[in-house]
Structure 1
């Protein structure tokens, strides 16, 4: 992989875009082939039933969560290791309201795998959004779109015609559900935290932001390479079990002065009619204040600490270049 050394972080040497190699089959080959062939039809049936039928029926939040847990149960994603900052083991129920994401709050989640969105939906029933590097506005997306984005090509700018909205607008529109933001904007191999999008700066000063880190054991269910559907399904369904390690940091809130004093050029009212052309004059790095930069650093540091990794200087633009080079090299192999 020395050919991709230019996509290593200069300070730490971390390569956040390289795929994680799977463990060799060895003596487990018959078992893994059996598990894959047994689980695949069941997994496809439950998944298609949910997204084509159940999600449109009035079965309520609990019914949808139960269906999502069935999807997670087929590949045996059962052992959930949950830790919350500031809460000792066995005393979480006493601090639930203050320590866990609640309706009206924002979840700033790491982004490594399609499982991220399914797990967050099964636990919190949130509104999902897609972020772009240099704009405070986000695109509201469905759970299925959030899953597919884990396999999608990275994008620095939204597609023409994309409707964007401030996070504060979504929070006020959906007060009974939390809002999920993937501030890294694209998936990684869980070995580093990318520079965070400015979308977190669109949060109201009274809104709590909860950094949430999701890590997997084995780690090879991550999807840093776009379009890796087949390899992901094989890894997910052929292994006996998977473990999710969930870490939730203490909430972060914006300073009132940082929010109430927007950059001079950002005077347009935010509505759902905001489109791609509006992004041409969006905020760039030089427009954010020191308080806003401190907020992004605080969330980024929390995600790095929770995941026991380091922050890297490589972002979406570098991943676009990496994917282009990766695809070109694969064609020559």
Structure 2
């Protein structure tokens, strides 16, 4: 759309904030019949799926949150209780949403390496060195962000602490439900534009990591892009990793990449009505999600990264684009190479401007439509 051309990345030509266009497919009798069945049966199955999701969500809230408050008094059992029911209910919610199989694989970026494994169950890999090491409390999960489905999967797989990233590199701890809704929210403004009260509860990533480790909160999920894109490219990372040095080996990062395959409606979500998007997602017969995880010995700052030459190469690549956050630059290189997503020069602040412009156009359009309706009534 030309009216949004100012948010097209100059280097790649990609518009990462607009919903992606479904791929073109050759029309045939079979595909025509499939589309006809989808239009007829889709709304019915969508209503059934949506009902199941609502029931499962209510049960999840009651069992995991309400009863979980009582379990907090028991100490360590609270984490086990939350982890157990998150795994059960959130996987059922994903199945009810059409994500019957979730392909996961562990990837190594080293040349000549054959350490690559596949799994369709949606859990963590256990057939390679990288995946056999458990994700512990205080570990940091770094991933691209394309949809609220990403949040559900991460809560199912890890029961982590979610964070909201700020442009200056600070993070705020948020809950699962707020993380789901963050997809629809305008990214936060720079800290200097916020009130003093709004700046309370912000941490550097290292501070939050230390607290999570000491209190057993679970791993920390960081979406360094700070907002969702349409899954076609990576946005510029906020400088959340500038409190780490490339020479460190105790960062314990885990790098994941989400990718969706689709024929009609893309599960990626960047703008629009989130509930209506989910309703349409449920009308599809099935949805496909693949999750790639980078082998631990390829991840910067990890104890498993033993090759100093590889670390130096990463630092060199990162230094071309990151002067104040070298570790963030290294993670960008790793995530981009693993996911095969191109890096753009657009950031969460560009998404903020885009959403403000998008909502302003919506208001103007609604006002014009209302005025036209009034004129038509007067003519009658």
* 1:180-195 superposed matches below 5 A: 180-195=221-236
Q: Which moved more, 1:17-26 or 1:5-14?
A: 17-26
State the Cα distance separating 1:201 from its structure 2 match: 2.5
Aligned partner of 1:68 in structure 2 is: 90
Which residue among 126, 140, 145 is the counterpart of 1:111?
Answer: 145
What is the SS of the residue equivalent to 2:266? helix
What is the SS of the residue equivalent to 1:93? coil
Q: Which has the larger radius of gyration?
A: 2
Structure with the bigger RCO (C-alpha within 8 Å, sep 6+) is 1
Aligned partner of 1:51 in structure 2 is: 61
* 1:64-213 superposed matches below 5 A: 64-86=86-108, 87-89=115-117, 92-96=126-130, 101-135=135-169, 137-157=170-190, 160=195, 161-162=197-198, 163-175=201-213, 176=216, 177-203=218-244, 205=248, 206-213=250-257
* 1:20-59 superposed matches below 5 A: 20-21=20-21, 26-27=35-36, 28-57=38-67, 58=71, 59=81
What is the SS of the residue equivalent to 1:14? coil
Question: TM-score normalised to the size of structure 2?
Answer: 0.71
Cα distance between partner residues in 1 of 2:95 and 2:105: 21
> Which of structure 1's runs of 4+ aligned residues deviate more than 6 A?
22-25
Structure 1 residues not aligned, in runs of 5+: 257-287
Distance 1:120 1:16, change over 3 A: same
Structure 2 residues not aligned, in runs of 5+: 24-31, 72-80, 109-114, 119-124, 304-320, 367-380
* Cα deviation 1:70-117 (Å, max 9, x = unaligned): 111211212211121233327843425666644332111111111111
What is the SS of the residue equivalent to 1:212? strand
Q: What is the aligned length?
A: 299
Cα distance between partner residues in 1 of 2:42 and 2:60: 26
Aligned partner of 1:271 in structure 2 is: none
Aligned partner of 2:270 in structure 1 is: 224
What is the SS of the residue equivalent to 2:349? helix
Question: TM-score normalised to the size of structure 1?
Answer: 0.80
CA RMSD, Structure 1 to Structure 2 (Å): 2.8
Cα distance between partner residues in 2 of 1:152 and 1:232: 15
Distance 1:112 1:299, change over 3 A: same
Distance 1:168 1:293, change over 3 A: closer
